[in-house]
Amino acid sequence: MKPGILVARAVFPEVIERLSQHFEVESNQDDVLFTPDQLIAKLQGKAGVMSTSSSRFDADVLARLPDLKIVANMAVGYDNIDVAACTARGVMASNTPDVLNETTADFGWALLMATARRITESEHWLRAGKWEKWRYDYFLGADLHGSTLGIIGMGRIGQAIARRSMGFDMRVIYHNRSRLSEQQEAHANHAVYVSKEELLRTADHVVLVLPYSSESRHTIAAAELELMKPGATLVNLARGGIVDDTALITALKAKKIAAAGLDVFENEPKFHPDFLGLENVVLTPHIASASAPTRKAMANCAADNLIAALSQQRPPNLLNPETFRQV
Ligand code: DGY
């Protein structure tokens, strides 16, 4: 008999078909957002789950899932999974790194450019029928070329963003848990390692691409926004909660920084309503990795992890290798 799995959110039909060759699949193509109790009920007797950041797997949930062997997240971020609790129960956990690096870096640039050059703000104004003449000072923005780009979180996506800055003749500074090798720095447009404070004081454009954890919560709050240049832009591609959104709204209202571009929010999708009243912010609904080929690659990567885990092979993106030895 094939093992049973749950695909917890809607996904490409061909991926469901592929999984069905290996498993008894319960899918959720109506994309119902399960409560924790509903998720637990659906997972009784199931050996695996394909999950996204909207499903939490903490110690309490895992304790009620005795048959579960793998949580395969369709995301590079895995702050919805308590990996230590998985390990304690012998449950494998996996994510989908690498396949989304370049697409997410492209989007980081789209958001950075839209924010610095006031693209959405000016489009809203045009659509509202306000354009009657050309003026020298309409929608003056900040230049990208020749400016200093500060990247907080210099993993694979951060490095891909830095590489793209070569074409804009930018200086790159970065802050990260650990310094890159000389070779990696050279490849990332000769990025220079600095403290977080120096980065915030010096950068014209700050991009956040660090993973969320209890330590990275509110990496940017009121004190950090105070350090930034008045003309600076801030882009958050990482996770809601890395920025203190209330402090950011206060700073944007007071023009302490020029503008922000946000793909992620605290409590998304129910983000802070005051963002909607601000002109100096570009808002997108957590779509940085959303190109068709990349989302398909992410879904297939999560499927690869499930298929390997439930056929006694090591999942290619196993986050807790200790559990594989326990199988
Ligand atoms: C990721 O891969 O972590 C993206 O944010 C999608 O959740």
pLDDT tens figures, 121-167:
999 999 999 999 999 999 999 999 999 999 999 999 999 999 999 99
Q: What is the pLDDT of residue 327?
A: 44
Burial of 130 (0-12, 13-18, 19+ CB in 10 A): exposed
Catalytic site residue from 64, 156, 163, 286: 286
Our answer on whether the CB atom of 176 is closer than 6 Å to any ligand 1 atom is no
The rounded distance, in Å, linking the Cα atoms of 244 and 241 is 6
The pLDDT value given to residue 188:
98
73-to-80, 243, 287 alpha-carbon distances in Å: 9, 23, 16
Ligand 1 close to Cβ of residue 294 (< 6 A):
no
Q: Is 141 in the pocket of ligand 1 (CB under 6 A)?
A: no
pLDDT at 325 over 70: no
Residue nearest to atom 4 of ligand 1 (CA): 75
All structural domains of the chain, each given as residue ranges with its CATH number in brackets, are 4-99+292-326 (3.40.50.720), 101-283 (3.40.50.720)
Rg (CA), the chain: 21
Active site residue 239: yes
| Tens of pLDDT, residues 273-296 | 999 999 999 999 999 999 999 999
Q: Please indicate whether residue 55, judged by its CB atom, sits closer than 6 Å to ligand 1.
A: no
Inter-axis angle of helices 292-309 and 13-20, to 10 degrees?
A: 20
Catalytic residue among 239, 272, 314, 322: 239
53 lines ligand 1 (CB under 6 A): yes
Taking CA atoms, 120 is separated from 46, 47, 133, 134, 272, in Å, by 45, 45, 19, 18, 19
**Residues contacting residue 115 through CB under 8 Å, at least 6 positions apart:** 233, 235, 259, 260, 261, 281, 282
Whole-number percent of the chain with pLDDT over 90: 99
Q: What residue's CA is closest to ligand 1, atom 7?
A: 75
Write out the two tokens for 215.
């330590």
Ligand 1 centre to CA of 77 (Å) is 5
| Predicted confidence (pLDDT) at residue 326 exceeds the cutoff of 60 | no
Please report the atom of ligand 1 found closest to the CA of residue 286. Answer: 5
Q: Residue 258: which pLDDT band, with cuts at 50, 70 and 90?
A: very high
Q: Dihedral (C-alpha) 116, 121, 125, 127: value to the nearest 10 degrees?
A: 110
Based on the number of CB atoms within 10 Å of its own CB, is 51 exposed (0-12), middle (13-18) or buried (19 or more)? buried
Contact 305, 48 (CB under 8 A): no
pLDDT tens-place string over residues 185-203? 999 999 999 999 999 999 9
301 lines ligand 1 (CB under 6 A): no
Q: How many whole angstroms from 93 Cα to the centroid of ligand 1?
A: 15
Percentages (nearest 5) of helix, strand, coil residues in the chain: 35, 15, 50
Query: Which atom of ligand 1 is closest in space to residue 52's alpha carbon?
Result: 7
* Sole residue written with tokens 């907080």: 152
Nearest atom (ligand 1) to Cα of 78: 3
Residue 286 annotated to the active site: yes
Mean pLDDT of 305-315: 97
Question: Is the shortest distance between the CB of 97 and ligand 1 below 6 Å?
Answer: no
What angle is formed at CA 253 by the lines to CA 249 and CA 255, rounded to 5 degrees?
115
Q: How far is CA 230 from CA 97, 196, 251, 266, in A?
A: 35, 17, 10, 24
Is any atom of ligand 1 closer than 6 Å to the C-beta of 75? Answer: yes
Helices (H), the chain: 13-20, 36-42, 59-63, 83-89, 101-116, 119-127, 156-164, 182-187, 196-202, 222-227, 245-253, 292-309, 322-326
Set 268, 295, 322, 325: catalytic member: 268
Single-letter code of the amino acid located at 255: K
| Helices marked H in 117-178 | 119-127, 156-164
Atom of ligand 1 nearest to the CA of 298: 2
Which of 119, 110, 68 lies closest to 237, judged by CA? 110
Nearest atom in ligand 1 to the alpha carbon of residue 74 is 2
Give yes or no for residue 179 having a pLDDT over 90: yes
* Residue 181: partners with Cβ closer than 8 Å, 6 or more residues away: none
How many CB atoms are located within 10 Å of the residue 228 CB?
A: 23
The reply to whether ligand 1 has any atom less than 6 angstroms from the CB of 233 is: no
Q: Choose which residue among 56, 98, 100 to substitute to test ligand 1 binding: the one with the highest number of ligand atoms within 8 A of its C-beta.
A: 100
Average pLDDT over residues 223-234: 98
